[in-house]
Chain A
Amino acid sequence: MTDHFTIRNKSNAVSMQIHKRSLFILTGLALAVVAAFLVSLSAGSSYIPLGTVVQEVFGESEHAFVLNELRMPRVWLAVFVGAGLGVSGLILQGMIRNPLGSPDIVGVTGGASVGTVLFIVYLMGEVSIQWLPVASVTGAGLITVLIYLLSWKNGVTPMRLILVGIGVSALANAVVTMFMVSSESAVASKVYLWMTGSLYGANWQEVKIVAPVVVALVIVSLFFTGVVNVKQLGDDVARGMGVRVQFFRVILLALSVGLAGAAVAFAGGIAFVGLIAPHIARQVLERSFGILVLGSSLIGALIVLLADIIARTAFLPSDVPVGVFTAGIGAPFFIFLLYRNREGMSE
């Protein structure tokens, strides 16, 4: 057994094998994220050469303000938001056993939007912005429960879940519009920008709130590697092997909702990242959940970073919301998936 390593702690809580190939790919992805990170710091309305960026990161201070106060938080936010969405989508796709799952398609993001908008309209200024993710996650959680209940009819089929999700998303959008129209125009335009999915105006405070949540939840997800790997063999097999299927399903769903809610809280609905990242991860990596979690988070981060670089530079001096570009790639990809998998999935 020389082609893979085993990672295991003493109590076996974390236990997984990594093929050498996967290790190379994960390392490659990590390097790509670092590269995109640096390019993202250098690109923008004022171009800062890469060499200078690297120097700055290690302490020089000619462009300190632009780098530290404007670009750095934005780039970090992109990383965490992308990672959160990627892992959230991975868990969701595994849960409903359907490659079309993604927090934005199933409607989780819609609930987060309602929570966030209610917060922005009613609580902003009175309550510290620290609590914003709580509102988003609560909204995401409640709507997930609602969608699950509404799609229940002698069990839940993936297709019904997705259809109901589309319906509930539309309802959530209507509610958001309702609050937007009935609030002042300054608030409305803030909400609107947020909804399209934008990293514009990210600040350190936001990063400090989102980062720990995403990192913690991704690490927690890793602990479920064994369970999910068994679950993938089928619920019956998993039950036979002593896995409490329902219990873990709820936990995993909660993780997915938490990740999506936290990601959406400050960056809004950056669409389709949760759909694409896990697909790419499954294409290039082995199908062990733990490795896919790492892969999806890196790929998610990479997608959002790259999309944001394009969004900031393509239409200078304007700053296009990053969600426009992820939707531009994601929607055709979604239709391609629909077409490719048109046989063999239960309706």
Chain B
Amino acid sequence: MMSFTTKAYIRWTVLAISLAVFLLAALASLAFGKASISLAEVWGALVHFDPESTEHIIVRTSRLTRTLVAITIGASLAVAGTLMQALTRNPMAAPDLFGVNAGALFFIVFSATFFSVESLTNYMWIGFAGAFVASVFVYFLGSIGEDGLSPIRLVLAGAAISALFISFTQGMLVLDEQRMQSVLFWLSGSVAGRNMDMLLPVLPFVVISLIIAFLMGKPLNILMSGEDVAKNLGQNTLLLKLLAGAVIVLLAGGSVAIAGSIGFLGLVVPHIARGIAGPNYQWVLPLSGLLGATLLLLSDVAARLIIAPQEMPIGVMTALFGTPFFIYVARKGVKKSD
């Protein structure tokens, strides 16, 4: 029991440190940008808001929304990635790599181009639908035939699906040059210029999905010890998988509807979280949510500062740190079975 308590102690410490880093990242996100605002001002804006002060207005309007969006999206993508890696037993699974993000994106741009859908609530539903179609397709490829495509092959199939959806999306955007300019930034993923009205309709879905995901930790642990074991212990594995699938679709689709396709977060964060917390999903899931939010906040701050006064799409930032990691995992190799 001694080792257990030590482990638990370490875990709580790690969680506390992660939380502290997360809060610092959130503060940085409120403070840095085109106009640098001192932490005292940030604190003031949050605690006793003064409508006369420009700094306070910046913090309360654009920066605060932006920070909340980054937190929501970061946590969503990371948790979706963790669930995908667990369900497919594939260390290279992630919503963007398997084409789920691209599917959502394609459906949204398609409906905007051909059916003039404009409201964000509709984007959200269409994003869910797109993520759903792409997920079903990937799942189908993974289970077709005797034991479906091997992990690496599934990654390649995901790349092909993404290429297909992205190419169609690009085609539609070239048709409509005016829209392209405005969508281009959104396409490569961005949390800038979103307002609360865009976040609020998606938020309930994301929050409920996250809560369900966190509650899934224990059954997921059992499932990870083997499908047969789980069944013998009386677990309804099909139900669990369906539920996890639905959560992935809601989290990935919702994220794309707000922020476009932000890559690599869903791949990288689960690895870090598992590295810190071990194989216990009761810890891994919340931790990856926290780390995902932190990482996206930091990426966003970097995106604002790196070519100031202009802004880099945040998707570029995540790709810059994500691809070396992707290559590292690819080199480490993916076992064929398990």
Report yes or no: A324 in contact with B170, Cβ–Cβ below 8 A: yes
Contact of A177 among B145, B168, B171, B188 (CB under 8 A): B188
B139 at the interface (CB under 8 A from A): no
* Neighbour of A342 across the interface among B153, B164, B322, B326, CB < 8 A: B153
Is residue A254 contacting chain B, with contact meaning CB distance below 8 A?
Answer: no
Give the contact stretch, choosing among B14-22, B44-52, B120-128, B176-184. B176-184
In the complex the two chains form, what is the Cα distance from A189 to B179 in whole Å?
11
Of A164-172, A209-217, A222-230, the one contacting chain B is A164-172
Interface residues contributed by chain A, number (CB under 8 Å) = 49
Select from chain A the residue with minimum beta-carbon distance to B330: A163
A164-B331, A315-B175 known; A347 and B161 CB under 8 Å?
no
Quick check: A170 and B326 within 8 Å, CB to CB? yes
Asked if A188 is at the interface (CB within 8 A of a chain B CB), the reply is yes
How many residues of chain B have a CB within 8 Å of chain A?
Answer: 49
Which residues 134-170 of B sit at the A interface, judged by CB distance below 8 A? 141, 144-145, 149-150, 152-153, 155-157, 159-161, 163-164, 167-168, 170
Q: Is B174 an interface residue (CB 8 A)?
A: yes
Segment with Cβ contacts to B, from A29-37, A286-294, A327-335: A327-335
Residue in A153, A185, A331 whose CB lies within 8 Å of B331: A153
Q: With A and B bound together, what is the CA distance between A323 and B157 in angstroms?
A: 19
Chain A interface helix/strand/loop/mixed = helix
- Residue pairs across A and B with CB atoms within 8 Å: the count is 138
Residues on B with C-beta less than 8 A from A104 are 163
Within 8 Å by CB of A339, from B141, B171, B330, lies: B141
Cβ contact within 8 Å between B326 and A327: no
Residue of B nearest to A147 (CB): B327
Q: Given A159-B152, A167-B323, are A181 and B316 neighbors across the interface (CB < 8 Å)? A: yes
Q: How far is the CA of A38 from the CA of B331 in the complex (A)?
A: 48
> Any chain B CB within 8 A of the CB of A162?
yes
Report B-chain residues with C-beta under 8 Å of the C-beta of A168: 323, 327
Chain A proximity of B321: nearest CB distance (Å): 10
A interface with B by C-beta (< 8 Å):
100, 104-105, 150-151, 153, 159-160, 162-164, 166-168, 170-171, 173-174, 177-178, 180-182, 185, 188-189, 192-193, 195-196, 198, 271-272, 315, 318, 320-321, 323-324, 327-328, 331-332, 334-335, 338-339, 342, 347
7 example contacts (A-B, Cβ-Cβ < 8 A) are as follows A160-B330, A166-B159, A181-B312, A335-B161, A338-B156, A338-B157, A342-B153
Instruction: Please give 17 more A-B residue pairs, beta carbons under 8 A apart, in addition to A177-B316, A196-B171, A338-B141.
Output: A100-B156, A104-B163, A160-B333, A171-B323, A177-B313, A181-B313, A188-B181, A271-B167, A327-B168, A328-B167, A328-B168, A334-B160, A335-B141, A335-B161, A338-B149, A338-B156, A339-B144
